[in-house]
Amino acid sequence: MNHFKELHDELLCYLDPEHVDLCRQAYELAEQGHSGQMRRSGEPYITHPVAAALNLAQMRLDYQTIMATLLHDVIEDTSVSHEAVVQAFGEEVAALVDGVTKLTKIKFESRAEAQAENFRKMILAMVKDIRVILVKLADRLHNMQTLGAMPATKRHRIAIETLEIYAPIANRLGMHAMYTGLEDLGFKALYPMRYRALKSAVEKARGNRRELTQRIEQDLQQALDTLSIPYESVFGRQKHLYSLYRKMRQKKVAFSEIIDVFAFRVITEDIDGCYRVLGALHRTYKPVPQRFKDYIGIPKVNGYQSLHTTLFGPFGVPLEVQIRTRAMDSVADNGVAAHWIYKSSGADVNEAQLRAREWVQRLLDMQRNTGDSLEFIENVKIDLFPDEVYVFTPKGHIMELPKGATPVDFAYTVHSDVGNSCVAAKVNRRLVPLSIPLTNGQAVEIITGPEAHPNPSWLNFVVTGKARSNIRNFLKSQQRAESVSMGKRLLEQAFSELSSDYNKVPDESMEALLRDLQVKNLDDLLYAVGIGNQMPMVIAKRLVLTQDGDAFEASSDGGPLAIKGTEGMVIHFAECCQPIPGDNIVGRFQQGCGILVHSSDCLVVNQGRTSPEQFISMRWDEQVQGEFWVDITVEVANQRGVLAMLATAISEAESNIGNISVDPRDGTHNAVTFSVSVLSRTHLARVMRRLRANNRVTRIYRNKQGA
């Protein structure tokens, strides 16, 4: 019981005795479960959950959260079962414990996949109860405090994970104290030498500036006393080490240029006092233009509220001052946890709690639209931006977006359906490109269309995880639909070549094949055929044999597969031979990608004729759509202005230039290779005739690397 004494004393400060006793019972079960287990540091394992629980007790978390923190490793690391926790302490505590328990019984292909899947599980638990993440953060904080006993490689991995995921989550939930603690500990583990050097420099600078800091504090206090403005305290605040390091890296400046900024905080009695203090400070020291932020009127996305101003202090030194109430200060430090701090007193401090739930709900929506856990965790990392941009909806509501967000991000933040049907955007009543970054104070209106759908190019500029996951989800569903359709076309053609009919295959024959191939349904089979994972001729032969029961011979009655050139993600055109409409073509199945179209005379095709089942006869549809890129080389005399003349000739032939490369030959002639867009073989011939009409052109030919 010695390990529980400090925690017990802390709990008695704010919990009822019966709740403290329940925490003691949870401790006893954890102590029993972890009996004989030791940490790498040599301490009994029970010291870890007790220390994590103490962190949360100092934040005044409720008794159920404290119990779950004490028990958070028992299901994963001991013989204590989930059912035993339910029986002893109820479903609520057991659900919190289960939310932070890793998936140890499932085999993963890699550590990254295991990490991502465990994180995904925790997010789903967070949706039901936000306290899950508070337990996890307390667990991670103590692990970081005792990281020194770990091997160097593990320290490095855990530190990166903390800086990339857990510290930003704490920041996103408004838990500043937890956030700065995790960042500084991660910094210390990842860059120990830099940490020590920066810490030493900060302590030295603080000693040298003590007199000036005291004078500024006195000036600020005097200004407030003179105007009889009530306040609780004025004090200098310290920036944590990792934020200083990050600033030095981002701005590429020396420590002396960063540390020159003096930071102070003023705590007032109420909101009215905050604005009165601001006026008094601006009368004492001149404010720096455009360096004032009102986070009381417009709170940050994590619930943070404060007034920020920058002043010209004595001797011209810049002063950063934060002005807030005691309640705001507590929310700034504890964020979502402040809800429980003020719960007993009846104070309505739940802004961070509400915003946290909104954020967690957005994570849930993101998770639903993301099939892969690794992709999900990357989207979450993208979503953990510290800087916000505040814009207005047409009805005047404020929307918080990460810095760099575009109208498309705004559309998806409003609703997934709005993002999916977005066609244009107005910013301050003017049409703007969908890729333009938004800035503070803009009014944004999204124009939608019933037939509109996400554009793949949006992935190049969206910054929110929700937008990215929704766009990718749409593209995946589109690819599947295209692949299923292509798979059916390929099977129908294969049946035709075997003088049979795909539509007359008995249901029992198809079901038997699906069972044999271990495929859930017909669409999954067609999808596998469409992306090249199953050969259509092989599937057709098996079904025909099952259907007829006799041997057969392939027929030549079935015509080649017609393509229009716009089959999207299922049909790809080979770079080696660059086929264009009018060329004789053949298709080659590319596993996982669909069909790769080659020219019939391509060397790649001819080398692979030993596996005929991988190839499919193809022809161009009469109504071919789209433009096709092809390389042509023009040998031309090396004279001034000749390149411009060639480009003009290509333009006059109604073709675009994608790329140009010049190869000097003998000093008097150059070989110029153009990548040009054409509609067909006929169009290419027209482009080449235009070029050949120039008397400086000595030779012209089409490049076909595989031919």
φ, ψ for residue 39, nearest 5 deg: -85, 165
Listed in sequence order, the residues at least 6 apart from 317 whose beta carbon sits closer than 8 Å to its beta carbon are 212, 260, 262
Listed in sequence order, the residues at least 6 apart from 615 whose beta carbon sits closer than 8 Å to its beta carbon are 586, 587, 588, 589, 605, 608, 609
Measured CA to CA, the distance from residue 51 to residue 53 in angstroms comes to 5
φ, ψ for residue 588, nearest 5 deg: -125, 130
CB atoms within 10 A of CB 609: 10
User: Measured between alpha carbons, how far apart are the two ends of the chain, in Å?
Assistant: 81
Retrieve residue 134's tokens: 């508070």
* Bridge partner list, 426: 431, 445
Burial class (CB in 10 A: 0-12, 13-18, 19+), 59: buried
Measured CA to CA, the distance from residue 93 to residue 660 in angstroms comes to 67
DSSP per position, 135-158: HHHHHHHHHHHTGGGS-HHHHHHH
Distance between alpha carbon 170 and the CA centroid of its chain, in Å? 17
DSSP at 165:
I
Instruction: Report yes or no: 590 and 596 within 8 Å, Cβ to Cβ.
Output: yes
* Bridge partner list, 47: none
Distance between alpha carbon 38 and the CA centroid of its chain, in Å? 37
Listed in sequence order, the residues at least 6 apart from 262 whose beta carbon sits closer than 8 Å to its beta carbon are 209, 212, 213, 216, 236, 313, 317, 318, 319, 320
Sort residue 565 into left (φ over 0), alpha (ψ -120 to 50) or beta.
left
Measured CA to CA, the distance from residue 80 to residue 77 in angstroms comes to 8
Strands (E) in 163-278, as ranges, are 231-236, 262-268
Buried b (16+ CB within 10 A) or exposed e, 178-187: bbbbbbbbbb
Instruction: Report yes or no: 160 and 122 within 8 Å, Cβ to Cβ.
Output: no
List the catalytic residue out of 76, 164, 378, 627. 76
Burial class (CB in 10 A: 0-12, 13-18, 19+), 265: middle
Instruction: Report yes or no: 532 and 595 within 8 Å, Cβ to Cβ.
Output: yes
Instruction: Report yes or no: 374 and 326 within 8 Å, Cβ to Cβ.
Output: no
CB atoms within 10 A of CB 542: 15
Closest by Cα among 435, 438, 380 to 404: 438
Measured CA to CA, the distance from residue 37 to residue 5 in angstroms comes to 20
Measured CA to CA, the distance from residue 117 to residue 108 in angstroms comes to 9
DSSP at 459:
G
DSSP at 663:
E
Measured CA to CA, the distance from residue 660 to residue 512 in angstroms comes to 55
Closest by Cα among 707, 673, 674 to 598: 707
Instruction: Report yes or no: 48 and 71 within 8 Å, Cβ to Cβ.
Output: no
77 among known catalytic residues:
yes
Helix 91-99, helix 63-70: angle, nearest 10: 50
List the catalytic residue out of 21, 43, 77, 627. 77
Measured CA to CA, the distance from residue 306 to residue 63 in angstroms comes to 30
Listed in sequence order, the residues at least 6 apart from 161 whose beta carbon sits closer than 8 Å to its beta carbon are 115
Q: Would you please indicate which residues are annotated as catalytic (active-site) residues?
A: 76-77
